[in-house]
Structure 1
Amino acid sequence: MIISILILCSTNLLVAQYEDVGCATSPLTDSDIPEGYSNSTDSQLLMSYDPIVFNVYYWGINEDDGTAPGSPNDISITEERALRSIQMLNISFNKHNIYFKYTGFETFNNSLYYEISGHNEPGYKNFSELLNFAQSNNNQYYKTNAINIYIFKPYDFAGIALRHKNAIGMHQYFGQDFSRIGLNAHEMGHNLGLWHPHDGYIYPYVEGNPYNTSCEVVNRNSNNGQPYNADIAGDRVVDTQAAPDFRKEHYWELILDFNIDPEVAEDTYTPWLHYNQNDCAWESHPKGIDCLDEPYQIFLDYDNKNIMSYAPWECVNDILFTPGQLIKTWETIQIDEDGHFALSENSIASLYEPYKGEYYVAGPSNPAADKPLFQPGFEYRFVNCDCFAEEDCSSPTPYEEGNSTFSSTSQLLLSFNKEEPNFDNITHPNHSAIKIIFPNIPSNDPLLDPKRCYDNWNKAAIGGSLTKFNDNVFNTNVTLYPQDSASINNPNLINTIDPGLYKIEKVYEDGATQQTVIIKDNQ
């Protein structure tokens, strides 16, 4: 069955696709702040933006009885799926200096908002109503300091975002696997101010049709008598070519060229009829024209694989944005029309903080809790660090201390790439500092230095040895005394040995070793 999607009749509402689900968009009625956007496509300007971090919080919606029928394993959301979403968002946006910090998830039970309609289907709530409910009673299900992502069962669409409102809604399969990376990035693109490249799209010019006012013409030359309107029509980004809705071209052909009733066309059109899904190329055809009868000029990658387009998911999972789109996201963040971005912004230092678990400091250990976990989606390098004698590194040193506790040649102890599938593995090992590889940051930038040295020796050793240098000098004439956990941790160990030169070596459960040389005299 083919299901269509409708952008809700609100000036800021955007609806997106899910897998093979199409989109039936309403005419765009809002306009950008004239003085707020530069319409720039300058890649040098794009490189000038400093990294920014946003908090993200997830909400899973269940039926009144706490069930979520139809969702994976009948569970609306899990921490693993939320982390998979954060992983996909960071993979998609980190290369553009935009970062997301996972701050948690919750669920709530309410059958009224379990299944949401994208086009006001009778008997169903829409996303605006869900958000109003979430923000009622002093923001009961809305975090003012985060981008809020709601996971529910969509009746007739896959994802939705309220532009610059920090509110996104997505299908329950949003974080199931990497085939959904496009859905997550697409919706976040909407939240950051982007429209679909095909907004305003229609085939021939039709007198009186509401699309005409926002139909972006193909022509980019304003000197030949034809209008140049890429800055005020379509998606209002000048380097996204005027393009059709790749999925629904045949739908419009049936309506406009064959006078087929829209409901019949909805049930009979062939999705992506003019799009070759094998090589992700749009196949030009006689009816591939804009509202002024100009043939579309569709180019590979940025046009027919653009993440904000309705190309098939397998063709947009490279997450391609144009420079103009990215600059518009940054300018949307800077304009911050409603103040939501400033409220949800966090620091770069927050990326060096675990989302879960605790650092062992002292006393009895708790293996279930003593494991600080870090969110996926980053290139992590945990390198050896040695705490200076005058410093206390039983907890990680403050982020601001920079590289004072390790060497540039520090040994790599553990590393993870951004696609790491086992989230429980991404932990900060003892005796190491954290290095995050930030894309597009110069190699000599202090931001790339390891941070937060954790060099804790308070936990009891699991064993070790006592080596006596029989000649009281460092040579091979030694006697080795193996020690078990009880003896090596005995505070009176030194009192029990004869005078002489010794090396005490402690071995810890994480593989670390600590050596101490002592000279015991006759006193």
Structure 2
Amino acid sequence: MKNYVIYIAFALACFISNAQEIFICAEEELIDYSNSNLSSAPNWSGSIDPAFLATFEPVVFNVVFWKITDEHGEIGFNWATDIQEEDVLESIAAMNIEYNKFNMFFKYKGLNEIKSPPNLAIREFPNCNTAVAPDPHGYGVIDRCEIGEFYFFAENNGYNDPNAFNIYIPYGTRQFAGASRFNDTKFIIRADIASAGGMVHEMGHSFYLKHTFNNYNNASCERVTRDPNDINFNADTKGDQVVDTAAVPDFAKEYCYTNPLDINCIDDPKYMSHVYIDDNCEYIGNSVNFYDEFFEINPSDIQNYMAYTVASCRNQFTIGQGIRARETIRDDTFNNFAPAMTTISALYEPYKGTYYFAGPQLPNSEKPLFQPGFDYKFIECSGYYPQPAPYNENFSYNPLNTIETYDAYEQDYNILTHPNHSAIQILQVEEGLGHTNVQKCYNNFNLNPKGGTYTRFNDGVFNTNVTITEMDSLQVNNPNMINNLQPGLYNIEKEYDNGAKQQTVIIKEN
């Protein structure tokens, strides 16, 4: 046991920064900015009670993404990943799917680009023990020693939205894949791992969720027992300090920790990565912690977002982690979360596009688009709303007539638009609010109809003695159509390309 503890101390390079008293440890996959002054930490209850979690009201955060390129707007290498809007939409969807369970919502506010200045030579942190040579790719390929300098650069050059989470995506990094800081609303994540699971993991750190294996190989590790009556119980104060996450090893580097004399591990810690997780995301190892206790690993431990597990295995948080996140937001120790918050109504607004009002039909590229990650229902509504009704406006709608539905896992983002003659339901929001919330009726009949009919009630009253006349597009759009009718009682029905029909009853007199 002592041998691999020494190895870990050798493998990780740590240094101190004076910003909010944080320490930074560069690890194989992630930089974890942890608050070293626990007296400033939120007032966590340690609860794992779902009923307590349900007491937290919905909270919505704005999220802005920034793609970092070199000075020419290029990604620099043919192996690098070039982030597009569909990639960050996938990430925003994943974050909503996972965090909506805790009544936490994210509003996508766009993908922007930062062209980095070239030839950086940053030496802000002399204790970094890393020589940083001038880099023609600038912050497009970022070193861990450059993080503080980069944040200064971003905030002083307009590359930071003070009213949102700011997620920075370089196409390359050195010594880490993501950089998060507890109680903060910005982080860095490398482009090739800025997938759904990676983004959910990094966002977890923002809400003070630690790695589930935190300190597992030293005297601060948590005991395996989850029985609070056990004399060895310490899960609420050690490890990640969340009771319903099990004591687990670092699955990614576990082989090298337990085989410290393997020369390949010394040369490359990724040599035997995740060797004790099989293709079914099940644990096949037999490891012990600092106290020589055998770990009791369940599938849920391997699937936890805050574990260093196989990316495809990640799919869940625990109730305790949800409560930890909500209590972190509630206490907002450094007042970072409040400025990034917005209202529930923001989720009922498109992230881009324009609603048709009048005149020629808009091209598909300009239609209003809604972010993925929610279960949407678009319900038939009525009233005069050539533009969507204001949020919380009362209007009539027919809950039995759903014009369109989309689920949270829809991957064709170009079809997530607001159909005419409908209002919006977001089922996750309704669940969080605890009541029906049909909003933003859009009922526009300004577009010319494609055809229709007029029905004349021959007796001047509503009965079955009628004459029905078909109209083509020229006839139905003729401005003198009504003037040309003989006196009588009529029902005029106009049909539109989108399937909608509009009926008007008139009495035509001499």
TM-score normalized by structure 1?
0.83
**Residues 317-396 of structure 1: matches in 2 within 5 Å?**
318=315, 320-368=316-364, 371-387=367-383, 392-396=384-388
The one-letter amino acid of 2:151's match is L
Alignment match of 1:42 (pick from 21, 25, 49): 49
Q: What stretches of structure 1 of length at least 5 have no aligned partner?
A: 203-210
How has the CA–CA distance of structure 1 residues 71 and 194 changed in structure 2, closer, same or farther, with 3 Å as cutoff? farther
Question: Which stretch has the larger CA shift, 320-329 or 143-152?
Answer: 320-329
Q: Which moved more, 1:216-225 or 1:85-94?
A: 216-225
**Residue 463 of structure 1: aligned partner:** 451
| Counterpart-to-counterpart distance in 1, 2:193 and 2:129 | 20
SS of the residue aligned with 1:516? strand
Partner AA of 1:406 in structure 2: Y
Could you tell me how far 1:487 is from its partner in structure 2?
Answer: 2.8
Aligned to 2:298: 299
State the SS of the aligned residue for 2:302: coil
**Paired residues of 1:71 and 1:173 also in contact (CA < 8 A):** no
Q: CA deviation at 1:265?
A: 6.3
Match of 1:434 among 421, 424, 447: 424
Q: Does 1:91 align with 2:91?
A: no
Is the Cα contact below 8 Å between 2:22 and 2:33 reproduced in 1? no
Question: For 1:452 and 1:171, how far apart are their aligned partners in 2?
Answer: 37
- Within the alignment, does 1:310 sit opposite 2:308 as a pair? yes
Matches of 1:305 and 1:517 in 2, distance apart? 61
Alpha-carbon spacing, 1:230–1:79, altered in 2? closer, same or farther (3 Å): same
Distance in 1 (alpha carbons) for counterparts of 2:31 and 2:505:
76
Question: Equivalent residue for 1:53?
Answer: 60
Is the 8 Å Cα contact of residues 455 and 468 (structure 2) preserved in structure 1? yes
Q: Which residue of 2 aligns with 1:280?
A: 281
TM-superposition CA deviations, 1:385-411 (whole Å, max 9, x none): 111xxxx42221122125x321333x0
Judged with a 3 Å threshold, the aligned counterparts in structure 2 of structure 1 residues 426 and 455 are, in CA distance, closer, same or farther, namely: same
Which deviates more from structure 2 when the two are superposed, residues 495-504 or residues 475-484?
A: 475-484
Query: After the TM superposition, which residues 208-247 of structure 1 pair with which residues of structure 2 at under 5 Å, given as runs?
Result: 211-212=218-219, 214-220=220-226, 226=232, 228-247=233-252
Partner of 2:4: none
Distance in 1 separating the partners of 2:129 and 2:377: 47
Provide the C-alpha distance between the structure 2 equivalents of 1:192 and 1:163, rounded to a whole number of angstroms: 6
**What residue is the counterpart of 1:445 in the other structure?**
434
More divergent stretch after superposition (346-355 vs 128-137): 128-137
CA distance in 1 between counterparts of 2:49 and 2:151 reads 36
1:146 to 159, 164, 167: 164
**What is the distance in 1 between the residues matched to 2:120 and 2:78?**
11
- For 1:266, the equivalent position in structure 2 comes to 269
Aligned-pair CA distance for 1:476? 5.4
Change (3 A) 1:499 1:440: closer
How many Å apart are 1:477 and its aligned residue?
Answer: 5.1
Task: Tell me which residue corresponds to 1:423.
Answer: 413
Structure 1 vs Structure 2 CA RMSD: 3.3
Aligned to 2:392: 400
Aligned-residue offset at 1:160:
2.1
Aligned residue in 2 for 1:205: none
Q: Tell me whether 418-427 or 110-119 shows the greater mean CA deviation.
A: 110-119
Percent identical among aligned pairs is 37
Could you tell me whether the CA contact under 8 Å between 1:16 and 1:158 is conserved in 2?
A: no
Unaligned runs of 5+ residues in structure 2 are: 1-9, 134-141
Q: State the aligned residue count.
A: 482
Cα distance per residue 1:30-87 (max 9 Å; x no partner): 5364671112222211111111110000000111111113478x77432222211111
- Partner Cα distance (2:230, 2:462) in 1: 90
| Paired AA for residue 414 in structure 2 | D
Matched to 1:438, the amino acid is: Q
Counterpart contact for 1:115–1:154, Cα < 8 Å: no
Whether contact under 8 Å (1:463, 1:507) holds in the other structure is yes
SS for the counterpart of 1:467 is strand
